[in-house]
Amino acid sequence: MQTTSSTLEDIAAAIEARQPLPPMHCSSLEMGYQLQQQLTGRINGDEPVDLKAGVTGAATQKQLGLDGPLIASLYRRGKLLSGAALSLVEGQELECEIGVVVDGTGNAIGLVPVVEVVYLAFSRQEDFTLANIVAANLAADRYICGEIQPWDSSLEEFDITVSKNGSPIATMRNDYSFGSPAQGVAWLVGEARKRGIWKEGDAQRLLILGTCGAPLPGDAGDYLIDFGGLGQLEFTVL
């Protein structure tokens, strides 16, 4: 999809300001992916960026008529560390995810607990389509990273506990369709190469593998997320 620079600038400005997106006209997933790459380049520049998988649940894929997950890029300006304080944005959601640190050739070297803060709003209801969501990098906004742990290829499922203001509010498991972080890495790196968004080199990057359980409202409060053997992650929404 070719888009005018002004339209691309308008979309990028809305994403950076966390405002509803201006009218978008992606009529297919392929057009969505083309605009996604243009938009990512406009916001992130040309350097390798962290990547995310989306729609990783088999049931949701079937409902949407997909034969597998979707891929998107994350925004450099949105990367935060455990202990961060972040602004409250109406409509934002929190997704607990498993992150994998990979080297420039796609080999896994570490595991990271991650909470992705997603936000997506359209100015027109008719623009709320899967193709436009893909173009908008699957609602990418901010992502909070814990400490890197050694890579464990045997890791599969484990429990995650979310507490807010000192009280547990949710438990979940990493039950995405990949089955394990190793399978998720293989898919994400392969898909990134297929779509021309993987850049070989020395730079490490983070891959996040899709939400573990249902997203949670990103309301104000103090959060502590326990990822079991992967450690804990905390942050405050103001």
The number of folded domains in the chain is 1
The residues, ordered by sequence, that sit 6+ positions from 180 with a Cβ below 8 Å of its Cβ are 155, 156
**CA 26/CA 80 separation, integer angstroms:** 31
Phi/psi of residue 95, nearest 5 degrees: -125, 120
Average pLDDT across each block of 10 residues of the chain; the chain has 238 residues. List them in order: 68 96 94 95 91 92 92 97 96 97 95 97 95 97 97 89 98 87 95 90 90 94 96 97
Q: Kindly report the pTM of this predicted structure.
A: 0.94
- At residue 6, the pLDDT reads 56
Residue 178 buriedness (CB in 10 A; 0-12 / 13-18 / 19+): buried
Residue 62 CB contacts under 8 Å (≥ 6 apart), including other chains: none
Domain with 233, as residue range(s), is 5-237
User: What pLDDT was estimated at residue 4?
Assistant: 52
> Do residues 67 and 189 touch, judged by C-beta distance below 8 A?
no
Residues 187, 226 contacting (CB under 8 angstroms): no
Phi, psi (deg, nearest 5) at residue 34: -65, -45
The CATH code of the domain that includes 49 is 3.90.850.10
* Per-residue pLDDT at 156: 84
**Measured distance CA(130)–CA(136) in Å, rounded:** 10
Q: Is 231 exposed, middle or buried (0-12, 13-18, 19+ CB in 10 A)?
A: middle
Q: What is the pLDDT of residue 200?
A: 77
**Cβ contacts of 52 within 8 Å, gap of 6 or more:** 71, 72, 73, 74, 97, 116, 137, 138, 140, 143, 207, 208, 210
Maximum separation of any 2 CA atoms in the chain, in Å: 49
- List the one residue out of 12, 79, 88 whose CA is nearest residue 49: 79
